[in-house]
């Protein structure tokens, strides 16, 4: 993941999975439940207007 962050110039990575809990995996990498994609603002809260 660190290589993807650096090569693509990303600020963070969200790894979407089928579980129910959101938690950090490492620096700038977070596990996000699939259901969070359906909730307005839960994944990209800083980008939602």
Q: Domain-by-domain residue ranges, the chain?
A: 2-38
Tokens of 26: 């490492």
Which are the contacts of 22, defined by CB distance < 8 A and separation ≥ 6? Answer: 30, 31, 32, 33, 36
What pLDDT is attached to residue 45?
54
What pLDDT is attached to residue 40?
74
What pLDDT is attached to residue 1?
82
- Cα(first)–Cα(last) distance of the chain, in Å? 28
Task: Give 1-49 pLDDT, tens digit per residue.
Answer: 889 889 999 998 989 999 999 999 988 899 989 888 887 766 665 433 3
What pLDDT is attached to residue 46?
41
What pLDDT is attached to residue 18?
94
Please state, in angstroms and rounded to a whole number, the distance separating the CA atoms of residues 6 and 28: 11
């Amino acid at each position: 993941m660190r290589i993807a962050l650096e090569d693509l110039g990303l600020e963070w990575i969200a790894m979407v999975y089928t579980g129910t809990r959101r938690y950090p995996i490492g620096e700038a990498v977070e596990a996000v439940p699939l259901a969070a994609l359906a909730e307005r603002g839960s994944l990209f809260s800083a980008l939602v207007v």
